[in-house]
Amino acid sequence: MQLNDTHEPALTSWVPSANAAGTDFPIQNLPFCVFRPRASNQAYRAGVAIGDQIVDMAALGNAFDDAGDATRAAAQLARQDTLNALMRAGPQAWSALRLALSRLLRSDAPPRPGILVPQSNAEFAVPAQIGDYTDFYTSIYHATAVGKLFRPDQPLLPNYKWVPIGYHGRSSTIGISGDRFHRPLGQVRGPADTEPRLAPSVRLDYEMEVGIFIGGGNVQGEAIPVADAEQHIFGLCLLNDWSARDLQAWEYQPLGPFLSKNFATTISPWIVTLEALAPYRSAWTRDAADPQPLPYLDYPALRDTGGFDVALEVLIETNTMRRESQSPARLSLSNFRHSYWSVAQLLAHHTVNGCAMRAGDLLGSGTQSGPDAVEAGSLLELTAGGKAPLTLPNGEQRVFIEDGDRIVMRGWASAPGRPRIGFGEVSGTVLPAR
């Protein structure tokens, strides 16, 4: 992904909040969402974040009349109630629209306050119609830590370093940040139980992940080459893959997760494009002692720029914290650059057998844990499988998620001399079981 004038660090906007230090949404970001004014009956439509405002794509009017045909066509696609059509249009359309939006919002352009809606006055929808959802397992640190809990003699299974491991999830239960859902029920069997029973999960967990939205798809039977894979990726979001560990322990053999994963997945409203993240790419490394990628998973740019330097933070807000007006407490801080498999490798592997991908399909990266214990992306790791409770700053303890807990995840990319590019946040609250 080449840098262009949308990445210029000195750019500022006529939207004042976009120029504030530490904002997630400077003019160099411009992530997409689907929204409408809060508590209205208006149709959902696409929007673009700038500072604490949203550019209402349906309100642009004649703003792009002097732009090229590709820009006008892309802007028209972005006025729909999902982003699928824009995603399908491909990287040239995405780049043309991003450049036009950047020029429209720069300080030297005439202000157009009529195209803005405050984010505080917006409600969001899942930004695309997600036909299929696949969750991967790309953090070797997470895989090893979890493996040690269940297989101390062989924490990492032999296929992990050869093949990106994944399973097919449930798109119908993907919700947007602010989601509130009931604690799931399922079959559980504890160490002292002679047979399973139906019960609410008591080992409810989160998983800090990155979501990957597919742009243009492929024809069934034709694989997407790994070197071309990023041309088929619209952008990244934050993803919380809620997990019922007690249900998972009983059901996962021999076919993997089922009810322990399909009850809720929550994503952030903002999709940050790969073009916006171009200055924040990182080297992808593989230990020399490990198997190197098979040829269909190797490509020229992999080792220099295959990764993304994106910090990933998890926080918790309990009922007590809300009642006493305390800020959420940090649980962990990791980084997407630790991923064992690259984003391009996930898509290439997904299609190498001829699997057809469609615009709006979603991939989950799997839990993003780092090499240090404080970088663990789940409570399962942070509490050593529930054996070491966490003590929060206010003195409360947690082993797994309790009713009323709100989990908040944030992500951002930063580099010396460049503005912070943020993902906003994804949050979800657990309600008592029905």
Task: Give domain limits for the chain.
Answer: 5-125, 133-431
pLDDT in tens, 402-415: 999 999 999 999 99
d(CA 31, CA 272): 5
Domain 5-125 and domain 133-431, same fold? Reply is no
Here the tokens at position 363 are 């991939």
pLDDT in tens, 170-186: 999 999 999 999 999 99
d(CA 190, CA 200): 13
Q: How large is the average pLDDT for residues 311-323?
A: 98
CA quadruple 184, 185, 189, 191: dihedral sign: positive
CB 186 within 8 Å of CB 198: yes
Tell whether the model's pLDDT for residue 48 goes beyond 90. yes
Q: Which of 142, 338, 349, 350 is catalytic?
A: 142
β-strands 265-267, 174-176 pairing: parallel
The band of 109, judged by pLDDT with boundaries at 50, 70 and 90, is: very high
Yes or no: domain 5-125 corresponds to CATH 3.50.50.60: no
Of 149, 250, 257, 147, which is closest to residue 193 (Cα–Cα)? 250
Backbone dihedral angles phi then psi of residue 269, each to the nearest 5 degrees: -75, -20
Tell me the whole-structure pTM to 2 decimals: 0.97
Here the tokens at position 119 are 């984010």
Here the tokens at position 206 are 């989160």
d(CA 100, CA 184): 45
**pLDDT attached to residue 185:** 98
Write down the architecture of domain 133-431 according to CATH.
Alpha-Beta Complex (3.90)
Here the tokens at position 84 are 């699928």
Catalytic annotation present for 349:
no
- Which residues are CB-contacts of 1 (< 8 A; sequence separation ≥ 6)? 230, 274, 275, 277, 278, 281
Tell whether the model's pLDDT for residue 431 goes beyond 90. yes
**pLDDT attached to residue 150:** 82
pLDDT in tens, 226-279: 999 999 999 999 999 999 999 999 998 888 899 999 999 999 999 999 999 999
Could you give the angle at the alpha carbon of 301 between the alpha carbons of 299 and 305, nearest 5°?
Answer: 135
Name residue, tokens 């309100």: 59
